[in-house]
Amino acid sequence: MARDFTADIEDPIAREVIANVGTWVDKEVRPVASEFEHADEYPDPLVKGMSEMGLFGIKIPERYGGLDLSFECYAGVCMELARGWMSLAGIINTHVLVGYAISEYGTEEQKQAYLPKLVEPEMRCALSITEPDAGSDAQAIRTTAKRDGDDYVINGQKMWVTNGNRAGVYLVMTKTDPAAEPRHKGITAFLIDHDTPGFIKGKKFDKLGYKGVETTELAFDDARVPATSVLGGAEGRGFQHIMSALEVGRINVAARGVGVAQAAFDDSIRYAQKRVAFGKPIFEHQAQQLRLAEMAVKIRAARLLTLDAARKKDSGERSDLDAGMAKLYATEIAQQCVLDAMRIHGGVAYSKELPLERYYRDAPLMIIAEGTSDIQKIVIARSIVKDYPV
């Protein structure tokens, strides 16, 4: 299976964009990714290249200066970026996700204030949901926002914030009514600028993988923001807004899974034709043929599931089921394919001289990020049971 992330894309513009990104990844990313990754260094030259291709504005509406391309195109772009280095698709993820939330649910004033700045980008974005005592159960957050005249006063702590030190605006989930039942009705999302008094950027976490992009903690100590910072202008709708935006994030993470799995497969099938054991290339041994065939099928299925979810999002319909299926399957097979790739390579896969060990450290993050695999299964189950009334 030759790697071609444009094969199932119908839109000619999207095919061209994805192909161009793939060419850039081969030329600019793959030769230097491991160097940046091992140093845990933010890849400024690569981020600049992404910016020059317009990728940060890929989902920003044209009237605000963006490209306004399809989610199908975005998924293909993220596959290519992750094929080169998974962290690049992570750097762009929260930016596109928050931009989508603003363009879809923000007031016109919020759109005018932020969206043009996200295109170049003059300003970067971060999403802030998780807390020390609230991860998969997002409705259990404790960060509060209390109305005080024309302002809100925010207090609490957030964890695992991607782009936490570099963002200019943060989409933050808070509780404006802790006693609300059901709980989601008491949740409100705020757009908080990086220089807000009382908003504190905390430590950067040292991670197993997902290097080069910072993941931080945040704190709010009587941080005062104007009421105009409420996303969409109304309290109590933040959970729905952020869950819709997370559909975009899950498409991104699914695409990352496809990209990493494809990179592992590409490396493996080439290596299997060169490495000789027992007098012939190891590809001619049936055990390796079966392993590579299974990898190819899994990657193909994951790619189609991911594109299907992206097309559903493009249609304007609710896509939590489709995005959940894609995210669950693509990330789980990425883990499987990377381990199979290490088996094909043998001991050399454990060396930092090859990117296999990087894939192996990056893969587990995707099983956890944007909702764990178990959470995806719950989302899927709750959705499919509606088709089988008793």
- Give the model's confidence band at 6: pLDDT under 50 very low, under 70 low, under 90 confident, else very high: confident
Confidence of residue 5 (pLDDT cuts 50, 70, 90): confident
The mean per-residue pLDDT over the stretch 317-337 comes to: 97
Selected residue with higher pLDDT from 87 and 202: 87
pLDDT at 334 over 60: yes
Summarize pLDDT for 235-264 with one digit per residue, the tens. Answer: 999 999 999 999 999 999 999 999 999 999
What global pTM score does this model have? 0.96
* Confidence tier at 11 by pLDDT (50, 70, 90): confident
Stretch 55-75: mean pLDDT: 97
Residue 306 and residue 326 in contact, taking contact as beta carbons nearer than 8 Å: yes
pLDDT of residue 137: 87
Mean predicted confidence (pLDDT) in 52-60: 97
Q: Treating both helix axes as pointing N-terminal to C-terminal, what angle do 356-368 and 320-345 enclose, rounded to 10 degrees?
A: 160
CB 247 within 8 A of CB 73: no
Per residue in 124-148, pLDDT (tens digit) is 999 999 999 998 888 999 999 999 9
Map 87-143 to HEC letters: HHHHHHHHHHHHHHHHHHHCCHHHHHHHHHHHHCCCCCEEEECCECCECCCHHHCCC
Kindly state the tokens that stand for 198.
């009382």
Query: CA distances (Å), 306 to each of 203, 236, 257, in order?
Result: 34, 31, 10
> Would you tell me how many other CB atoms lie within 10 Å of the CB of residue 352?
11
Looking at residues 341-357, what average pLDDT do you find? 96
User: 7 pLDDT band (50/70/90 cuts)?
Assistant: confident
Q: Are strands 125-128 and 169-175 parallel, antiparallel or unpaired?
A: parallel
Q: What is the arithmetic mean of pLDDT over 347-364?
A: 96
Q: Is 80 exceeded by the pLDDT of residue 4?
A: no
Share of the chain above pLDDT 70, in %: 99
Interval 149-187: pLDDT, tens: 999 999 999 999 999 999 999 999 999 999 999 999 999
Rounded distance between C-alpha atoms, residue 36 and residue 201, angstroms: 24
**Using CA atoms, how far apart are residues 99 and 87, in angstroms rounded to an integer?**
19
Average model confidence (pLDDT) across the chain: 96
Closest to 85 measured CA to CA, from 367, 370, 368, 362: 362
pLDDT number for residue 49:
98
Q: Is the pLDDT of residue 2 over 70?
A: no
Please compute Rg for the chain using Cα positions.
21
1: pLDDT strictly greater than 60: no
H helix count then E strand count, the chain:
11, 9
CA distances from 384 to 105, 288, 304, 311 (A): 27, 37, 20, 19
Which residue numbers are catalytic? Answer: 370
Average pLDDT rounded to a whole number, residues 308-331: 96
User: What domains, with CATH codes, occur in the chain?
Assistant: 12-119 (1.10.540.10), 125-237 (2.40.110.10), 240-387 (1.20.140.10)
pLDDT at 3: 64
CB 154 within 8 A of CB 223: yes
Q: What angle is formed at CA 94 by the lines to CA 157 and CA 177, rounded to 5 degrees?
A: 40
d(CA 83, CA 263): 5
Q: Determine which helix (DSSP H) or strand (DSSP E) holds 253, and give its type and residue range.
A: helix 238-274
Among residues 87, 88, 110, the alpha carbon closest in space to that of 99 is found at 110
Amino acid 159: pLDDT: 95
Q: Is the pLDDT of residue 232 over 70?
A: yes
Helix, strand or coil, per DSSP, at residue 307 = helix
Question: Phi/psi of residue 166, each to 5°?
Answer: -110, -10
